[in-house]
Amino acid sequence: MKNSTEVLIRVVDLHKSYYDGETELQVLQGINFDIYTSELLAVVGASGVGKSTLLHIIGTLDRPTAGSVLYSEDDVFTLPDKELAGFRNKEIGFVFQFHHLLPEFTALENVAMAALITTPNHKTVYKEAEALLDYVGLAERCTHYPSQLSGGERQRVAIARALINQPRVVLADEPTGNLDRRSSEMVLELLWDLNAKSGQAFVIVTHNQKLAQQVDRVVRLVDGKIF
């Protein structure tokens, strides 16, 4: 782990259950762990064990059945939905296995969109979006639509989009799971470089053993608990 001992996110006694009629399925059962400022953390475990569920709760996309997620000691789930959405847009970046780019918008527009919601100076936003696309090696693809990009290029656009609001943490759910080997390596190199240069924390859910061997710390999810 990097030298930082400052806790950015604290997950406290987190539980998540789903119901099928009266049958309860306990996915997360008392999760406790910290995420440190600027660290690169991997969450690993078997398929269906709840890794994505955990990531979605840390990212405030879903609420827990019980327990807390503290950002700088503030329990984000005490916020009403509208304020929580604003917090999420500003403080958390997301990269999913499937890029989730909007097909009717260009790469530049996809990257800029999250910042346009809250920033009145659209010219500045587009300038920052262009700089991010340049950083991820896609300066010449700004006006291309997702259908005109390769899988690896789409995922790099998604990474640029995740960074547009300069979030404190980037959460990535199997970011290389849908890519060929060469594209996967390019995306991983980009994530490592971003983490080293930006000081942002990265939490990556992965089945990729090579990826898990290159991070600062690994937590393993087994039977709804962290090991």
What span, in angstroms and rounded, lies between the C-alpha atoms of 225 and 24?
A: 17
151-163 vs 122-135: helix crossing angle, rounded to 10: 130
pLDDT at residue 48 tops 90: no
In-domain check, residue 106: yes
> Considering the domain boundaries, does residue 97 fall inside one?
yes
Q: Global pTM?
A: 0.87
pLDDT for residue 185 is more than 60:
yes
Domain of residue 153: give its range: 7-226
Collect all residues with Cβ–Cβ distance below 8 Å to 66 and sequence separation of at least 6.
13, 14, 15
Q: What is the pLDDT of residues 76-114, one digit of tens each?
A: 999 999 999 989 988 999 888 776 889 999 999 999 988
Could you report the per-residue pLDDT of 127-157, keeping only the tens digit for each?
999 999 998 888 999 999 999 998 888 888 9
- Output the pLDDT for position 113: 87
* pLDDT beyond 90 at 213: no
Residue 1 lies in a domain: no
Task: Assess if residue 176 is contained within a domain.
Answer: yes
CATH number of the domain that residue 180 is part of: 3.40.50.300
| pLDDT band, very low/low/confident/very high, at 197 (cuts 50, 70, 90) | confident
Please state, for a pLDDT cut of 90, what percent of the chain lies above it.
44
User: pLDDT exceeding 70 applies to what percent of the chain?
Assistant: 97
Q: Is residue 2 part of a domain?
A: no
* 3 pLDDT tier (thresholds 50, 70, 90): low
Beta pairing class for 217-222 and 225-226: antiparallel
In a domain, 20, yes or no: yes
17 inside domain: yes
Please count the structural domains in the chain.
1
List helix spans (H) across 25-150.
51-58, 81-91, 107-116, 122-135
Task: Specify the pLDDT at position 108.
Answer: 95
